[in-house]
Amino acid sequence: MNEYYENYPACGGRSVHSMASKVSVSMDETRESLASFFGTDDPSCYVFTKNCTEGLNTAALGLGLKKDDVVVVTDTEHNSNHLPWLSLEKEAGIRRRISRSSADGEFDIESFQRCMGHDVKAVSVQQCSNVTGCLVPVRAVAEIAHDYGATVIIDGAQAAPHMKVDLERIDADIYCLSVHKMLGPTGMGVMYGKKEVLERMKPLTLGGGTVGLASYDSASLAPIPDRFEAGLHNYAGIIGTKAALEYLKAVGMDEIERWDSMLVEKMMRNLEDVRNLHPVGPSDPRRRTGVFSFNIDGLSSHDISMMADSMAGVMIRSGMHCAHPYYVSRGIDGSARASTYLYNSTEEIDVFTDTLRHIAEVFGD
């Protein structure tokens, strides 16, 4: 990214001089890296966005859903995959069906099947919960949804950084992700779409770069993916995305998933005898990925987070984690949440759990 700013800080797709051409080539190389990383053949199916949220909104608003069209979601979605559909329900008259999870937040395939019907036009689900760490069997979901002719949209923000994602195998129609969760730069996301799905979608934003030719009275859309990428890009971020993918590929996504699982299991085993500490989601670490959400009796989640930071420099998140309906429906005020990744060590897990045990024993109820 520094090399971009220092050596060729130009705009891609706008000029044919040497610096601009290098940027354009770099953008193409990042799309090729994305296609290779996620197991697909066509690099043009990867649209650069500013985050996963923009991708999910582009999908929701671009499908052209009409009054009484049905969309199926789950009750554990992040607000980025909840609010666009809620807005379309109020503004366009679509109808939502919500697949209910178990008490600890695990996906219920039978509840999902009961939601399905030939009136369902889209299914939009997360692959992994950012609250419980529970996985949705997205390949099975896609197979069921496609049997009813529904378009399948997957929020991969939490899954893509932590496990191998094979989009060809999953058979998702649209898959959105956040690059900064994958060791990349902030302000970068990606929306993958099957070409035939992208061809029938309407862009969220129009402007420079999205049209082939415009007159005073008409305009023709540019080819995929350009029609979805209005205006100038975060070129440094796109270049940084390729570097992040190369780094993750060198480490190995299977190895990252194994390391995450080991750290979460160690974390939860270290804390299982703390009586006033309660996990949010499954108590069995093998049923969740690299997040551990929890509460301590007598303390708010923000209290826990600030204490851990001030006492030991342990930084965790607190609140409802942009998954408000999950908490509201269960009567929970929020939770503290520790997340693991490839840069965390077993020693850091011990520091965290020792700190948390002290907080629970001294300040908890």
**Residues 73-100: tens digit of each pLDDT:** 999 999 999 999 999 999 999 999 999 9
With cut-offs at 50, 70 and 90, classify the pLDDT of residue 276.
very high
CATH topology of domain 2-251: Aspartate Aminotransferase; domain 2 (3.40.640)
pLDDT single digits (tens) 291-307? 999 999 999 999 999 99
Mean pLDDT of 18-38: 97
Backbone φ/ψ region at 266: left (φ over 0), alpha (ψ -120 to 50), beta: alpha
Q: Residues near 2 by Cβ (< 8 Å), separated by ≥ 6?
A: none
pLDDT single digits (tens) 157-171? 999 999 999 999 999
Mean pLDDT of 189-218: 96
Angle between helix axes 235-251 and 18-37 (nearest 10 degrees) is: 40
At 149 the pLDDT is: 98
Its pTM surpasses 0.95: yes
Catalytic residues: 322
Mean pLDDT of 94-119: 97
Judge whether residue 13 has pLDDT over 90: no
CA torsion sign for 169, 175, 181, 185 is positive
With cut-offs at 50, 70 and 90, classify the pLDDT of residue 285.
very high
Mean pLDDT of 342-353: 98
> What value does the mean pLDDT of the chain take?
97
At 14 the pLDDT is: 84
- φ, ψ of residue 132 to 5 degrees: the values are -100, -20
- What percentage of the chain reaches a pLDDT higher than 70? 100
Angle between helix axes 301-312 and 346-363 (nearest 10 degrees) is: 120
With cut-offs at 50, 70 and 90, classify the pLDDT of residue 152.
very high
- What percentage of the chain reaches a pLDDT higher than 90? 99
Peptide bond into 84 cis (omega under 30): no
Domain made up of 253-363: CATH architecture: Alpha-Beta Complex (3.90)
Q: Is the separation of the CB atoms in 66 and 94 below 8 Å?
A: yes
Domain boundaries, the chain: 2-251, 253-363
